[in-house]
Amino acid sequence: MQQPAFAYVRHGQTPFFRLPTRDVGVDAEAYRGIQAVLLGVPYDGGCTHHPGARFAPYHVRRVSATTQSFHPSHRIDVFQALRCVDGGNAALPPFAPAMAREILQQEIGAITSARARPFVVGGDHSITLPVLRALAEAHGPLAVLHIDAHLDTSTGELWGDAFHHGTPFRHAIEEGLLARDALVQVGIRAPWGTPEEDALVKGYGGRILSPFELQDPRTLARELRGHFGGRPLYVSIDVDGIDPSFAPGTGTPVPCGLTPREVTSLLRGLAGCRLVGMDVVEVCPALDHADLTSLLAAHLIFEGLALAALAGE
Amino acid sequence: MQQPAFAYVRHGQTPFFRLPTRDVGVDAEAYRGIQAVLLGVPYDGGCTHHPGARFAPYHVRRVSATTQSFHPSHRIDVFQALRCVDGGNAALPPFAPAMAREILQQEIGAITSARARPFVVGGDHSITLPVLRALAEAHGPLAVLHIDAHLDTSTGELWGDAFHHGTPFRHAIEEGLLARDALVQVGIRAPWGTPEEDALVKGYGGRILSPFELQDPRTLARELRGHFGGRPLYVSIDVDGIDPSFAPGTGTPVPCGLTPREVTSLLRGLAGCRLVGMDVVEVCPALDHADLTSLLAAHLIFEGLALAALAGE
Amino acid sequence: MQQPAFAYVRHGQTPFFRLPTRDVGVDAEAYRGIQAVLLGVPYDGGCTHHPGARFAPYHVRRVSATTQSFHPSHRIDVFQALRCVDGGNAALPPFAPAMAREILQQEIGAITSARARPFVVGGDHSITLPVLRALAEAHGPLAVLHIDAHLDTSTGELWGDAFHHGTPFRHAIEEGLLARDALVQVGIRAPWGTPEEDALVKGYGGRILSPFELQDPRTLARELRGHFGGRPLYVSIDVDGIDPSFAPGTGTPVPCGLTPREVTSLLRGLAGCRLVGMDVVEVCPALDHADLTSLLAAHLIFEGLALAALAGE
Amino acid sequence: MQQPAFAYVRHGQTPFFRLPTRDVGVDAEAYRGIQAVLLGVPYDGGCTHHPGARFAPYHVRRVSATTQSFHPSHRIDVFQALRCVDGGNAALPPFAPAMAREILQQEIGAITSARARPFVVGGDHSITLPVLRALAEAHGPLAVLHIDAHLDTSTGELWGDAFHHGTPFRHAIEEGLLARDALVQVGIRAPWGTPEEDALVKGYGGRILSPFELQDPRTLARELRGHFGGRPLYVSIDVDGIDPSFAPGTGTPVPCGLTPREVTSLLRGLAGCRLVGMDVVEVCPALDHADLTSLLAAHLIFEGLALAALAGE
Amino acid sequence: MQQPAFAYVRHGQTPFFRLPTRDVGVDAEAYRGIQAVLLGVPYDGGCTHHPGARFAPYHVRRVSATTQSFHPSHRIDVFQALRCVDGGNAALPPFAPAMAREILQQEIGAITSARARPFVVGGDHSITLPVLRALAEAHGPLAVLHIDAHLDTSTGELWGDAFHHGTPFRHAIEEGLLARDALVQVGIRAPWGTPEEDALVKGYGGRILSPFELQDPRTLARELRGHFGGRPLYVSIDVDGIDPSFAPGTGTPVPCGLTPREVTSLLRGLAGCRLVGMDVVEVCPALDHADLTSLLAAHLIFEGLALAALAGE
Amino acid sequence: MQQPAFAYVRHGQTPFFRLPTRDVGVDAEAYRGIQAVLLGVPYDGGCTHHPGARFAPYHVRRVSATTQSFHPSHRIDVFQALRCVDGGNAALPPFAPAMAREILQQEIGAITSARARPFVVGGDHSITLPVLRALAEAHGPLAVLHIDAHLDTSTGELWGDAFHHGTPFRHAIEEGLLARDALVQVGIRAPWGTPEEDALVKGYGGRILSPFELQDPRTLARELRGHFGGRPLYVSIDVDGIDPSFAPGTGTPVPCGLTPREVTSLLRGLAGCRLVGMDVVEVCPALDHADLTSLLAAHLIFEGLALAALAGE
């Protein structure tokens, strides 16, 4: 007999997607044989506006519990095809950002050492930098699909610290973590402080698309698939890339965002790419309603896992 | 002088669309001369996840009170063209599902005996089965347009009862209530438990469309109009077929749903079909915000009534 | 070094009060050496009005994670003094109430067989009956402190089933699970259907106190402590016994309830009683705000655990 | 067999307390034999701050539906002892305050002509003036118990109209509608604009009590019962007299309010007084949570009806 | 060094977009040299259904504070190119609609006298009439782009006053404030009371487009740009023109509305038109969630300011 | 004629209590002649659990706008008796806690240099330490009334920083900012991590009272008034000292808190003390409902200002 849909009830606990749990921190051995590790990062110490994303992993886990495992579009049973575990949360010191980055990089390092892929649920967007560092160390410079309302290439000038949730992609470029030509930013639309805000990404061969410029996500996906080729691909989704009506629970919402169908079509069109990791960040449960944003985050992670499942190994 | 728009204020009561009320239960005589009966079904005893749909009829009635009667797209005065009443609620025993189905089937039977059409506001989706039973008894096997995120053709294996809100269309097919070829499911997108979940509907000649496959609802409507021909048509709308941003008040929301404009265009395109009944189910007011979902349900029922008004008789 | 307060972050999971988990169902061996088992019962199939209490265990667990262990009033470290585990949830079939009661009774039986005490987080109040059955089997007729807005001694006449959330104490009395003279109901205030609603409890020597009759909870506690003596005591708290301003997340709120300080004083005054089990029921998260009701439930369970810790063994 | 508790489900409509409805406006004949008429007044055209009380009657009706009829403290079956109807709503023109007052006075006049008592659910507090006018016409100058955070004896100077929700008791005094010595205001606590704000009431022999001065509501009730004697008594409850934690849904909340238990004790202590009418006003559903304020309003009206039921006739 | 993004923190006050403030009322001198004046109009005395829009200016100001000034699509620094001030609120008497209209017309007159453009944040839609009066006085008959769910050409017959939030465009036409042929209404979709509701606008050469008829907003914008030519253009946006999922905080929501991307594309396509003023009305914060609607209103005003900045002078 | 109550509408801005604004930072000259400065501190970088208090000053300002100035209990016109200004917000760097403390201490120093008293609206409780430093520098060791659920004398051991919102009073004692014997903590009730948590305060002669130990706030106030004598008194109110039903908008709520009436009575009883400053902290608007907590904060600040007004000078 099939496993009852309400089996998750038994535990009382709510690991991501009712997956087995593994609680390892920086011990790669514990992940041996695992292909994907879901990791919560309850940290919002890099937030410049409305904090609260530190609570996202708890809520995304809870609402993910009822997700079934067969993906009707890719026609693959994600959790049969891919050995996944819930690796728990990275326990980052809340008032020591540099140490937090260090610890997270090591935890991601443990995952890549086990040849598994990290699927990270943030936390604010500042957590993406240490993830990129660990992945670039393992795979070399990365191609990145970045969904966001903001470029996230600010300097630290405005906030007194060069490492906050508006800066990860500046550092990633400056540190050589990203492959030239291979940063694609979709959903960008918030007003800028200066006319040159896109200079860094443009100068690095990157591509910036507002929701108004996105015609057909399937066409874009086809282009990107060709463009990315066999390069290691990281997907970073700030939920504010999506319109606030679909994702009200976020700290810096901007009207006129992408729709979940657009983002999902884009992701599905990347089947065949070499996905090495993914994050969904900036879910702020205190501002959410009826778990809309947490549900959307769980959905997006599931779409990423499906891509990994299709790629196999 | 025109009836004041705020006349509904006088009553204090809030019948659907300020319609006259008729409280008959299973006495068809009382409906003589009536063409459409709006019926609330405050029952969620078939809900496997988040209950609360039992309160929907009260809220849908309340928010429907300000709807004017002239439909500017079809250019018809719905309540002048169609003799409608609010038939009250079916008073179903909350802990006796079999008896609940029996009573509801009889109440719908009273409506069809009077040659009127039922427009049902649920309640959870399990209430659709007894409605289909009564309508098939009156009209023979039905064509069905089913808007939903889920196929609703589960078995009872998982939940210990074969009759719950995830099973009505399995029973409807197995009991021969539906015309072969004539079940069209639109909005389907939730992950499945097994690869064969669509086998029953496909094997019965049904059609399944995800929101990603829906190109133009007007084109689809044109196809369906031809396909359904003069067959008796039932429309069943689970509000979770629509995206949770538009319908947050529902118990099993799934991202990437249809938009209200798509569903409305689809319905409007069915003008000329022989609509024999309709339901809108799974509105859960406790999870709603600013009455969005109740308003949407009232709107959809009004669109269905407009189709009936156009058909006349 | 002291365990960091943010250690719960590591797991990602949220067992009650960061306790070790044990997932045993009906296997008493697994509880050997344990003194208290926290059990979630995500079941609201006995609810006659607003359902949703099935989700309470998830939220009470989540908010309990930050509770420290030293009780500053009793001056005892609760989790050092009492060996506690989170036993997970009882996985009850949602549509088969009789089977649900049977399973829950067995799970409580496993706890009592291990000489541990159950601390149950509901679920609706119908779950108290099987708990009382298992405890009375282990300890003989019980003394009960029952906090509620309602007597919960209804018959099944109104709702077509004799076992729902308005009837557990009728059955408990009729089945001889309660000691004569030893049912004390505090907080009772909802209007009744008939003048005789208190006859059953009064006839059994029970005591009924409205919030208006409660003068000083400490005085009442002193009386009760004498009255209960060494009899096995069960505490059953329906959160609607407390005023809806403090506990908005509940299905049948009634104005003019007890305050959390009154209930807490009453519980603290029972130090020395022989507490054999406890439940907190009717927390409905969908109607809660800012986790007020879930926090209150966690607090009340902690107060109960403190009583057990003081009693030792 | 007793009437099923869920009978109200049948109608779908939600009259106050499931009472029979009567929709008469100014036709006193229709109320013949009735002792109490519940009237909704969906009007907030007198609101100076946060409007929305116009929607209160719909929500108070809805949540009142589950109230049983036997009052366990007074030990009387309220709806058996008192012939009550839901008289619907007064349909007041939203932009014509003077006409609105005129119509409402006539509707109350129809009730008093039938020798019935009005129980009014507002609406903002400006509606109390026409009610007092009609009652004083029928009974002569009235004793009034006024629960409020504010004195409601402002002038029109500040807002450009002498008739708004901050002025009813000024007009009532100046028009001679109130008996000298017989206005008692309880709950008053909002800061004043000038030191003389209490002069009018004090000069008329009235009494003003802040929540800080209220020692024991039962003692106060005893005093008032003696003081009011056989004079016709009107009770006017602005829900902001009660603390905003219990009544968040109101337009001008003020911290440190009365508790529902205090107000209820005060009302219960008035048993024996000659209650000729009552209102509960300033419930603003858009600001409410989990229906707390609407439930409280229904409770207070029920307490008032119980007083009338005890008085009989 | 660039001005810190959190400089607005210093003040504590929250002028629109952190602009300098100017508090002048009807003194045009104070606006000398200013090109755009943002004006709040906290008035909802013309609301026939759910009031509360009087609080919108406070919330739109607050959420506008984080908007940067460079518009990445038009590639213009809006606040460098256009001299803007926050003119405070028009302080309208809440119970004296005629006087309110008079005052507002004078305040707008002061703005036009200074050759500045008004950008108005309502308030309900009744405030648009006095704005149009003042602008037509300054510029002659206006072209108008009107975004709304409703035609707003009702008569006063239903509500007892000819001037409420459902009538401004009737009066504007009848008073000759609008240029013939030059009223374009987009988003119109609410059911009508009679079949002739569009007669007035159609008879005046106006154009009415439902969301279902809007194919490509860029195409429409191109047409309108040609059609409006050099005529003075006013843009009036009732947020209920946009779908309630994006704008839940509004008093008369109607499903199937425009998306923010459609409206924004339409506005951006009007670059080159001679914009003389704009309003965004009917934002009701009490019904909003996570400031979605206030954020959207701030965004739309910013888009309007960008059009003015492009036009220069 | 009296200033219209709606005059604050004119500005659109919302200074605390409609007071004049002064924006000086560390320039004491600007405060010359002022007796009380209201200062917002939008900083929550010291929060260990649910952040968001950085937004409190905006909301407390907004809701304070309708407060009248005459205190009916003390019978004093607060803003006539005391020259008050809104000093804006301290603009603290969000990621540099040490610098933040330094800046805030200087800003408070500017206030004390002008011989004015600071009334601070936080922000999290970590902001109290620099305020105490500045005040102790001006006045010598302080007496402190501290309302809180927590002792706030933690070490930095758990969180990796010795300066967070759980530590201000440890530092204040260790730095000699507080007078021996003169720290009184009321409302303390959260469980502790170790049995010795009260040792520091007790060893310093402080007094700790849980809500269960508070009998009559007026009696306590009388004692404290004698005890504090002429010593400079600081009042620090963490809103979580008050029960979460009254103050849901806070980051670490604990059931069984004080009531607003108790706290208000305690404050009023301190009339005659030499109040040198006050703060209200930990208001988290994202978790609030209907502005309850912001309103309460404004009320408490007003009570503190009244004490200062009574003291004069």
Q: At C85, list the tokens.
A: 């585990």
Separation CA F229–CA F232 (nearest Å): 9
Say yes or no for a CB contact (<8 Å) between A72 and B192. yes
C225-261: b (≥16 Cβ within 10 Å) or e: eeebeebbbbbbbbbbbbbbbbbbbbbbbbbbbbbbb
pLDDT tens, position by position, C173-194: 999 999 999 999 999 999 999 9
Q: What CATH number is attached to the domain comprising C114?
A: 3.40.800.10
pLDDT of residue C258: 98
> Per CB distance under 8 Å, which residues of D are interface residues toward E?
44-48, 50-52, 54-55, 93-97, 99, 159-161, 164, 286-287
Cβ <8 Å between B68 and E211: no
Residue B57: the pLDDT is 94
Conformation bin of residue E84: beta by default, left when phi > 0, alpha when psi is -120 to 50: beta
In a domain, E2, yes or no: no
Chain D residues inside the 8 Å CB shell of C193: 2, 5, 68-70
DSSP reduced 3-state for D258: strand
Distance of alpha carbon F263 from alpha carbon F22, whole angstroms: 30
Cβ-contact B305, B76 below 8 angstroms: no
- Distance from C-alpha of C169 to C-alpha of C172, rounded to nearest angstrom: 5
Distance CA C153, CA C170 (A): 4
- Residues facing B192 on adjacent strands: A70
The SS3 of residue F194 is coil
Buried-exposed string B39-59: b where 16+ CB fall within 10 A, e elsewhere: bbbbbbbbbbbbbbbbbbbbb
Q: Which of F95, F126, F284, F289 to mutate to test the interface with A (most CBs of A within 10 A)?
A: F95
pLDDT in tens, E146-203: 999 999 999 877 677 889 999 999 999 999 999 999 999 999 999 999 999 999 999 9
Contact (CB, 8 A) for E31 and E80: no
Q: Which other chains touch chain C, taking contact as 3+ CB pairs less than 8 Å apart?
A: A, B, D, F
In chain B, what residues touch A59 (CB-CB under 8 Å)? none
| Token couple for E226 | 């040609």
Q: Which residues of chain F lie closer than 8 angstroms to A52, CB-CB?
A: 50-52, 286
Length of chain C: 313
| Assigned domain for D1 exists | no
| DSSP assignments along D180-195, one per residue | EEEEEEES--S-BSST
Sheet arrangement for strand B142-147: B84-89, B36-40, B117-121, B274-281, B232-238, B142-147, B178-186, B207-209
Phi and psi, residue D144, nearest 5°: -135, 130
> Do the beta carbons of residue A108 and residue A131 sit within 8 Å?
yes
Q: B66, B294, B301: best mutation site toward chain E, by most E Cβ within 10 Å?
A: B66
Taking CB atoms and an 8 Å cutoff, what residues of chain E touch F9?
42, 89, 91
Tokens (6 digits) for E112: 């036009």
Q: Identify all chain B residues contacting D94, using CB atoms and an 8 Å cutoff.
A: 6
Q: Which of B193, B245, B252 is nearest residue A246 as measured by Cβ atoms?
A: B245
Confidence of residue B14 (pLDDT cuts 50, 70, 90): confident
CB contact under 8 A, F191 and C261: no
Give domain status of residue F230, yes or no.
yes
Span between the terminal Cα atoms of chain F, in Å: 29
- Confidence at residue B66, expressed as pLDDT on a 0 to 100 scale: 86
* Cβ–Cβ under 8 Å, residues F290 and F245: no
D153: exposed, middle or buried (C-beta count within 10 Å: 0-12, 13-18, 19+)? buried
Identify the band that residue A93 occupies on the pLDDT scale cut at 50, 70 and 90. Answer: confident
How does strand D76-77 pair with strand D70-71?
antiparallel
**Separation between Cα atoms, residue D290 and residue B287, nearest integer Å:** 11
- List CB contacts of B125: < 8 A, sequence separation 6 or more: B46, B148, B152, B165, B166, B168, B236, B238, B281, B282
Residue C197 Rama label (left phi>0; alpha psi -120 to 50; beta): alpha
Q: What is the pLDDT of residues C143-152, one digit of tens each?
A: 999 999 999 9
Using the Cα atoms of residue F53, residue F55, residue F57 and residue F63 in order, give the sign of their dihedral: negative
DSSP annotation string for E48-62:
SS---GGGHHHHHHH
Put simply, the answer to whether C42 touches A89 (Cβ < 8 Å) is no
Q: What average pLDDT does the structure give for chain A? A: 92
More confident residue, E162 or E255: E255
CB contact under 8 A, E73 and A210: yes
What residue numbers bound the domain in which F226 lies? 8-311
Residue D4 has pLDDT above 50, yes or no: no
**Model pLDDT for residues B285-308, shown as the tens digit of each residue:** 999 999 999 999 999 999 999 999
Q: What is the CA radius of gyration of chain F?
A: 18
Contact call for residues C72 and F192 (beta carbons, < 8 A): yes
Number of independent structural domains in chain C: 1
Give residue D198's pLDDT: 97
State the nearest Cα–Cα gap between E182 and chain A, in angstroms.
27
Residue F77 lies inside a defined structural domain of this protein:
yes
Whole-angstrom Cα distance, residue D62 to residue A212?
Answer: 45
Task: State residue E2's pLDDT score.
Answer: 38
Min distance E256 CA to chain B CA atoms (Å): 5
Residues of D within 8 A of F70 (CB-CB) are 191-195, 197
Distance CA B288, CA E132 (A): 37
Q: What per-residue confidence (pLDDT) applies to C21?
A: 86
The full length of chain A comes to 313
Bridge-based pairing of strands A76-77 and A70-71 is antiparallel
Task: Give the number of beta-carbon pairs within 8 Å between D and E.
Answer: 51
Tell whether the model's pLDDT for residue C313 goes beyond 70.
Answer: no
D134 pLDDT band, cuts 50/70/90, is: very high
Mean pLDDT of the A195-218 span = 97
For residue B60, which of B85, B39, B35 has the smallest C-alpha distance?
Answer: B39
Identify the pLDDT of residue E313.
64
Answer yes or no: is pLDDT of A145 > 80.
Answer: yes
> Is the pLDDT at C7 greater than 50, yes or no?
no
Tally C-beta pairs within 8 A across A and B: 83
Residue E36 has pLDDT above 90, yes or no: yes
Say if the Cβ atoms of B253 and A292 lie within 8 Å. yes
Which of these, E24, E155, E108, lies nearest to E276 by C-alpha position?
Answer: E108
pLDDT at residue number C6: 44
The CB density around residue E230, as the number of other CB atoms within 10 Å, is 9
Q: Does a structural domain hold residue D212?
A: yes
Note whether A160 contacts F54, CB cutoff 8 Å. Answer: no
Burial class (CB in 10 A: 0-12, 13-18, 19+), A277: buried
How far apart (Å, rounded) are the C-alpha atoms in residues F216 and E247? 49
Q: What residues contact residue A128 under an 8 Å CB cut-off, 6+ apart? A: A122, A168, A169, A172, A236, A279, A281
Sequence-ordered list of residues with C-beta below 8 angstroms from that of D226, at least 6 positions apart, any chain: none
Contacts of A13 in chain C (CB under 8 A): 13-15, 21, 61, 88
Distance CA E197, CA B105 (A): 41
Q: Which of B92-106, C85-99, E186-200, F9-23 has the lowest mean pLDDT?
A: F9-23
Dihedral sign computed on CA atoms, order C137, C139, C144, C145: negative
| Interval D232-243 mean pLDDT | 98
Tokens standing for residue C32? 């050997």
Cβ D21 vs Cβ D86: under 8 Å: yes
Comparing CA positions, the residue from A279, A306, A299 lying closest to residue A135 is A279
Query: Has residue B156 got a pLDDT over 80?
Result: no
Interface test with D, best of E95, E154, E164, E250 (most D CBs within 10 A): E95
pLDDT band at D313 (very low <50, low <70, confident <90, very high): low
Residues of E in contact with D154 (CB under 8 A): none
pLDDT, tens digit (0-9, with 9 covering 90-100), for A156-191: 777 778 899 999 999 999 999 999 999 999 999 999
Is it the case that residue F12 has pLDDT exceeding 70? Answer: no
Say if residues F295 and D255 touch (Cβ distance below 8 Å): yes
Mean pLDDT of chain F: 93
- A76 to chain B: nearest residue by CA? B195
Looking at residue B206, its pLDDT comes to: 98
Q: Could you tell me the pLDDT band of residue A313, with boundaries at 50, 70 and 90? A: low
Indicate if the pLDDT at residue A7 is higher than 60: no
Q: Which amino acid is at A187?
A: G
pLDDT over 70 at F5, yes or no: no
Give CA separation, F43 vs D273, F93, F281, in Å: 56, 8, 10
The shortest CB-CB distance from C52 to any of B46, B50, B94 is to B50
Q: Cβ of F9 and E42 within 8 Å?
A: yes
How far apart are the C-alpha atoms of C282 and C297, rounded to whole Å? 10
Question: What is the ipTM, given to two decimal places?
Answer: 0.94
Nearest-CA residue of chain B relative to C56?
A: B50
Q: At what angle do helices D56-64 and B56-64 cross, to 10 degrees?
A: 160
Whether the predicted pLDDT of A303 surpasses 60? yes
* Chain F residues whose beta carbon lies within 8 Å of the beta carbon of residue D158: 2, 4-6
CA distances from E278 to E41, E75, E273, E309, F103 (A): 13, 21, 13, 13, 42
A291-301 CB burial, b ≥16 within 10 A, e <16 = bbbbbbbbbbb
Rounded Cα distance between B173 and F45, Å, is 60
d(CA C137, CA E179): 87
Longest dimension (CA), chain A: 62
Alpha carbons C71 and A79: distance in angstroms, whole number: 44
- Select the residue from A1, A3, A9, A291 to test the C interface by mutation, using most C Cβ atoms within 10 A: A9
Q: What is the mean pLDDT of chain B?
A: 93
Task: Report the gap between the CA of F231 and the closest CA in chain E (Å).
Answer: 32
| C-alpha–C-alpha distance, residues D147 and D263, integer Å | 8
Judging contact as 3 or more Cβ pairs under 8 Å, the answer for B and C is yes
Chain-chain contact of B23 with D7 (C-beta, under 8 angstroms) = no
Query: A interface mutation test: which of E289, E300, E302 has the most A CBs within 10 A?
Result: E289
Cβ A301 vs Cβ A16: under 8 Å: yes
Helix, strand or coil, per DSSP, at residue E265: helix
